[in-house]
Structure 1
Amino acid sequence: MKVLKTLAASLLATAALTSASLACEVTLKSSDTHPDGYPTVEAVKQMGKLLEERTDGRICVEVFHSAQLGEEKDTIEQTKFGVIDLNRVSMGPFNNLVEETKVVSLPYIFKGVDHMHTVMDGPIGDEILAAFEPHGYVGLAFYDGGSRSFYNKVKPIKSIEDLEGMKVRVMQSDIFVDMMSALGANATPMPYGEVYSSIQTGVIDGAENNWPSYESSGHFEVAGYYTLDEHLIVPEVLVMSKKSWDNLSPEDQAAVRQAAKDSVPFMREQWQAREKASEEKVRAAGVEVVTEIDKEPFMAAMDSVYEKHVTSENLKDLVARIRATD
């Protein structure tokens, strides 16, 4: 079945190439689960534009949005084998593969978005990107994933007690599952594309995500309570298949890496604008947004998550260095 999925994805990608990309010597296929126009999708397009300009049209990037090549778990595997060249992926699915990604997936590890930017733009971020390579990927850049908060269709969440027994979708990550258990909720890992119907039919009560994802997915239509607890500020990562990377010359590798880095400021501008627009749309739709919430009990409940997942000296050191970063 996996072979058939991989073959189908490859055929789809090949069939969808535009005449412009066919003129390139190298066309890098890039995957994203988000819809066209989403900041991460537009950022990879910007990377492709820069790369095409800087290589005189030799290297192009073809972006396949809206999970055209599969959900993240599937595309991660395809990327490792070089069927997909570039992949914008949430950090959670990598937690069990690349140990260092666990740190930035920890609840309340960052003091805010600016703190996250400082950490990920510096040596700690470079160290985490380098950690992908032994696993078959080349880490290129970090994009914003916003602040993730809870939403559901049952009731407004105003305290940790309101989460008791609630069925909440999380990404397929042990950290996220344990986070929900520590808060008294029932974690339900499932692919992003199944969340809408699962809330609608009562399989789950809600989920957690940022403003743009809550809005663009339409989840606000079926889950009308959104609580700004901001338990996670998890950057997203753009990776390249090591197999595809090794097919490039050192000069082209440098061009790819630089174009990815240069797409980050563009992405952040897009993100800030999209976040504002998404919030306005959600509020206009009548969603009840809880802004006044005491985060201290939520943060205190995370002690068990840190104890379970921050076990190696490497991770303990990363946590300490992130907390020490101003």
Structure 2
Amino acid sequence: MKIFSYAFIALLCLSCSKTTQEKTLTLAHSLPISHPVHKGIVVFQQELKKLSKGKLDVKIYPDGQLGDEREALELLQIGSISMTKVSAATMANFVPEYGAVSIPYIFRDKEHCFKVLEGEIGKTLLQKGDDRWLRGLCFYDAGSRSFYTTSKPIESAEDVKGLKIRVMNDPTAVKMVSALGGSPTPMAYGELYTALQQGVVDGAENNIPSFVTSRHFEVCKYYSYDEHTYIPDVLIMGTKTLNRLTNQEKEWVYSAAKTSAQAQKKFWENSVNEGLKVLKEAGVQIYRPDKTPFRDQTKSIIEEFKNKSFGNLVEAIQNTK
């Protein structure tokens, strides 16, 4: 833990005033307060206070004050904090089923993605972590990840061949770029700007808001909307905290989470639109290639996931109309 000891953090988890019986939930995450997901969390905080008439409050610790995503989940498991927000990709390290929503091209588009996440499949997935003391409350929009490059645009799947593409240190991302004929290059995000500038890599992949805030658009003038993954964020409550709430309090929590998820989608859309304006002014060219060839060349990854223990979940996502 970077700043706080576990003993101190344990005092933060669920405080209760003896006189008023007001309860305060602690929520830690690693994003800055300007991020659209943080804004969604603020809506959760406000809505929960409103529904409970002040009986339930949320104390938010942003910017990784209490650790990174993995550390926050570990703190939830031991009951030292109440809630967190993490990427579904991080959750997959604790609850393997979450890996299904990180598969390249598993979602046809954003509409398909949220039809899955906000339907029965998503509801079931949010409950999958209960035996690991992690209960999902809702999914937040974290956009789609697409390729961006320095010297030439990616207008088709064939254009990825031979390119050195920075990817997260994730086996699935490595397999995706390899399947497209590129050379996947895992490296720390903080090193990427210089690597792009110096030609160590030819490109990378991320969503529009991150492409803008990282200022990678100063080096990469081509952004191709292939939308290979829609990896959502997840609002998580530790079951040790959840089980200490009354049934009425739990209803307030679930209702507030649902309201915040809908508000957060609008915050994300606004962030993307603002980002596109910045990119246009900076002279970045936006491409929207046909995704079918990309999907065809990476279908072996989906087939591989179908052989895992949650293969039926993968098929259910694909069959969602």
- Give the TM-score of the pair, scaled to structure 2: 0.85
Stretch moving more, 96-105 or 26-35: 26-35
Cα-Cα RMSD: 2.9
Choose from 87, 90, 94 the match for 1:93: 90
Q: 1:101 & 1:239 partners in 2: Cα distance?
A: 13
Question: Which among 52, 56, 66 is matched to residue 55 of structure 1?
Answer: 52
Offset, 1:230: 1.1
After superposition, give the CA deviation of every residue in 1:248-295 in whole Å (9 maximum; x if it has no partner): 33332222122111211111122222211111112211122223x232
Letter in 1 for 2:319: A
Structure 1: gaps of 5 or more residues: 16-22
1:30 counterpart residue number = 27
Q: Which sections of structure 2, spanning at least 5 residues, go unmatched? A: 13-19
- Shifted more, 4-13 versus 235-244: the winner is 4-13
Shift of 1:8: 5.5
Aligned to 1:325: 320
**How far did residue 69 of structure 1 move?**
3.4
Q: Which residue of 1 aligns with 2:134?
A: 137
More displaced stretch, 165-174 vs 106-115:
165-174
Query: Which whole-Å CA distance do the structure 2 matches of 1:156 and 1:202 have between them?
Result: 15
Q: 1:46 to 1:205 in 2, by over 3 A?
A: same
Who is 2:295 aligned against? Answer: 299
1:121-177 Cα deviation digits (max 9, x unpaired): 111111110112122211000111222101233432223343334343334433222
User: SS in structure 2 opposite 1:247?
Assistant: coil
> In the alignment, does 2:216 pair up with 1:219?
yes
Structure 1 residues 296-305 or 77-86, which shifts more? 77-86
Which range moved further: 190-199 or 77-86?
190-199
| C-alpha distance in 2 between matches for 1:33 and 1:217 | 16
Q: 1:321/1:189 Cα in 2 relative to 1: closer, same or farther (>3 Å)?
A: same
TM-score (norm 1): 0.84
The corresponding residue for 2:17 is none
User: CA, structure 1 residues 10+302, in 2 after alignment: closer, same or farther (shift >3 Å)?
Assistant: farther
Cα contact 1:27–1:61 (8 A) shared by 2: yes
In the alignment, does 2:72 pair up with 1:75? Answer: yes
2:178 pairs with 168, 177, 181, which one?
181
Provide the secondary structure at the position in 1 that maps to 2:280: helix
The aligned amino acid for 1:142 is F
Q: Residues 174, 6 of structure 1: CA spacing in aligned structure 2 closer, same or farther, 3 A cutoff?
A: farther
CA distance in 2 between counterparts of 1:57 and 1:40 reads 23
Once the two structures are aligned, what percentage of the paired residues are identical?
Answer: 37
Provide the rounded CA distance (Å) in 2 between the counterparts of 1:79 and 1:113.
30
1:113 equivalent to 2:110? Answer: yes
- 2-side partners of 1:280 and 1:24: how far apart? 48
Q: Secondary structure at the match of 2:4?
A: helix
Change (3 A) 1:198 1:137: farther
> What one-letter code is carried by the residue in structure 2 that aligns with 1:124?
I
Residues 6-50 of structure 1 deviation map (CA, whole Å, 9 limit, x = unaligned): 7358869999xxxxxxx9943323233332232211111000001
User: What's 1:240 paired with?
Assistant: 237
1:209-260: per-residue Cα shift (whole Å, max 9, x none)?
Answer: 2212222333323433211111112222111122332333333222212211
In 2, the alpha carbon distance for the partners of 1:236 and 1:325 equals: 20
